[in-house]
Amino acid sequence: MKKERHPNKAAHTLKSAGISTTQQRLAVLNILQQASRPLSVGDIRKQLDPASSVNKVTVYRIVSLLKKQGIVRDISSASGSLYFEMATSDHPVHPHFNCTGCGTVNCLTPLTFSQARQLLNQPDNFSVDHIEINISGLCNGCLHATKLQNKILKKGHR
């Protein structure tokens, strides 16, 4: 593995978490750090260098580990699969938008403190560990891609 003079962000993140820095973990973490929206395991695999392709199982194990370590968060999309995004302080918990046309998941603006409190106040007899707000419909791209309208409208319920 190539040595870098200035260790990159991903390597630093793994070191701080006290977990070993393997090529596969660095590759997955780099993709997540550069992503502008949450990614599914499939999305991550598509972005991995096809030459040094990382096994599907390994990607699942990595995102699962990163989640357990609090490095990433998961978002369950309307399509049924999990999406992952960095859980850094400059990217706090926020609602997401699922496009039912192209299937992407986009980030929306974070909740205000009062909104968050209203939601957290709700459950009386529960131990809450996760709040997820997902709003779905068509994203700007799909909304204006008139040529795709028929295809989108013909789709099934999933």
Partner DNA sequence: AATCTATTGCAACTTAGTTGCATTTTTGAT
Partner DNA sequence: ATCAAAAATGCAACTAAGTTGCAATAGATT
Q: Give yes or no for residue 130 binding its own copies (CB under 8 A).
A: yes
Angle at 121 between CA 115 and CA 123, to 5 degrees: 130
Given its own copies, DNA, none, residue 84, with its beta carbon under 5 to 8 Å by kind, binds none
Given its own copies, DNA, none, residue 88, with its beta carbon under 5 to 8 Å by kind, binds none
Count the residues of the shown chain that bind its own copies, applying the rule CB under 8 A.
43
Q: Give yes or no for residue 67 binding its own copies (CB under 8 A).
A: yes
Q: Give yes or no for residue 103 binding its own copies (CB under 8 A).
A: no
Print burial letters for 15-52: b (CB count within 10 Å at least 16), e (below 16): eeeebebeebbbbbbbbbeebeebbbbebbbebbeeee
Q: Give yes or no for residue 139 binding its own copies (CB under 8 A).
A: yes
